[in-house]
Structure 1
Amino acid sequence: EHGNQINRYKCLLSKTFGSNQYNGLDIYQHLSDDKKEQQQKRDETACWGAVNSIRWALRDEPGELDLSKYTIHTAYLKTDWFNDDDWHTVRELEKAPKVNTYVDGPEFLSLLLSCREWNNPILMSFVDYLSSKIRATIEHSCFGEHYEDIDGHIRFNIQDTAIAQRRFLQTVFNQPNHEAPFMADLKQHVENIDDLYVYGRIDDASHTHTIQHGSSFGTPWSLMHFWDRSLDRTVDADYWGFQNTNEDNLTVKPYMFWRIDKIKEGPVLSLRYYTWWEKGAGDNGESNTCSYKTRVYNYIKEHILSLEKISAKLEAINKLYCCTADKGDICSEGNLYKQYENTILQFKLNKILIDWNDADKRAQFISLIRELNEELTKAMEKVEWERVRKGVLK
């Protein structure tokens, strides 16, 4: 969803129907006056088209259409899987005391399969397409699967698809899903459809973290929040206002996350720290709005990562995957650069994914990562970040 789409559609349809169902929504609040006028004209045209379409569908004559008796029903539909942003939208829809529903790929396919007796060639063609799309999603979600590219380099699904990255984060960090009971009913129609990691309801448990997805130059990335986002600003500052705020007014609780990405050597799992970094502030990147970033970052590297329990976990992960043929460790520490995101820890996933079918090694890796995550969280919670920012705690 973008541009307040759903609320805009509901409000416009409400006006078109002559009902008061959604008249209270302010759908143009984010637009300037000139853009608001342009958008209103486009919306009026869309409403006129909607009325004509409804009139045709109901076979009503002009002037006889009474839409005030109808209820607007919002169906949030995706023909594939729902990410966390989609579930956020669904939850927002559920807050409104109106009739709403949401449908993902398998649910939509189940609905279409109930209409097989229609024997409509267009419908059945789409059913075949949707079935193949869902199968492909499940296949691509197998993050350990790999192949050789045209240059003979090994590539993993986790490098190419967001769903594989998501499933890896869910598996490693124990992010639960609700079960989707309708999946079993589809198994007779679509092979390998019963995969609840891919198609399942997001659990509302307190230990469930948000997983976000995006792409950089066409390459997908995914991240899972490790530490609450503050964007290094006070709560009442506007989104961009913190960039020009005096350092004394900034919050410093680090925004940290685990991120799946790729580097030249292949896919990696990184622990990253994000904060505002003023560009053009000199070679050392220091300025009145970002000097504390260096202090916070260095404190994490020097005081958190060096803790005995944390360094022991990192050493154990390196030892788990070391062999004479390998050069360097699986896990390495990052460096502070003049940019918004900086890597604190980085795990190269090539060796880890190649050995993923080794059940014992896989279980040890997952256990070590979860223990590492827990120790990091405990250590971060104990730090007086305000004192770190001011340079009192070094």
Structure 2
Amino acid sequence: MHYIIVLLTILLIGCRSALPTDENVSAGRESATSLTVAQRPFGATEEGPVTEYTLTNGQGMQVSVINYGGIITQLWVPDRQGVVDDVVLGFDSIAGYLGEYPYFGALIGRYGNRIADGRFSLDGQTYTLATNNGPNSLHGGLRGFNRKYWTATILREADRVGVSLTGSSADGEEGYPGNLQVTVTYWLNNANELLLEYRAETDKATPVNLTNHSYFNLRGAGRGDVLGHVLLLDADTFTPVDSTLIPTGELRPVAGTPFDFTTPTPIGARIDADNEQIAFGGGYDHNFVLNDAGSGMRQVATVYEPTSGRTLEVETTEPGVQFYTGNFLDGTNIGKGGTAYTYRSGFCLETQHFPDSPNQPDFPSTVLLPGQVYSTQTVYRFGVR
């Protein structure tokens, strides 16, 4: 009996030593038994090699991020049957992200969303930005944070794993004042929560509005449109826009309009309503004013997809969220697995301060001053019904 016990002990130790380490855990789709971080090459840019970092938890969820553009390239979550699928739109290789693309999964900055006419005034000086969206500046300009090369650091804690991306934006870059130092951290835990932490500091007053531009489809990326997804949005008002999608300055009640998602409503229920705001956006492409702004982290949205049973809950410290329904997707972007991303095949919930705030004195300020720390958080929590 003594020899049998010794033999079993040796076999157990041998099995443990054969287990893969974090660095060689597959970045594929199998369920992990613990929180791990894997990495693999993802091509290169002129600035250097691109690496994809994959965070995996013990519930079958995986999130992949690359150090070019801070882009979320994959996000695998289980459905009600336990089958995992990738629920974010994107590309299989770096090539897709180097060309023109609609910001799939990207880190957005220095200023997320639009600034009217590509200009704003601050401390008596007028700053001119690139106009890359009709007459307006969009998502940081011609080379926003979605086209930056970031320095990555793998993070491990007892109850979560993450990757932190750090970088800088020089004074005058894309027309913005101040040298801005930025850190964005992506955390995954065993509660199927993806936490995004944004932090920035500047040496000169400058507007800052950081967000993530992931396109979700809870049926699976490329599996049809998102019109059957059911949305609950904790916002009693939204910011109506002009024909170029710049806010008018009004905070308009959603009650009695196609913008009322204060009770669970299919995204497609009123998306083609005879409504001027719907016409301007080609559907939904609007900032919603979230309730209880200034009260810290709180739940602001829930999305439910009936066929898969998947749910997405959003928590944030931000005062607004841009709800966008992929109205400009037209099949020309060939995504993962050779799938064409067609009209309204993804939706975005971009937590943010309001568009054009530097030109809207009644909106919450986005100006960051020297000595201050820009700090916001957003959680995307996945589940099933």
TM-score, structure 2 normalization: 0.25
RCO (CA 8 Å, sep 6+): is it higher in 1 or 2?
A: 2
User: Higher helix proportion, which one?
Assistant: 1
Q: Which has the larger radius of gyration?
A: 1
User: Higher strand proportion, which one?
Assistant: 2
TM-score, structure 1 normalization: 0.24
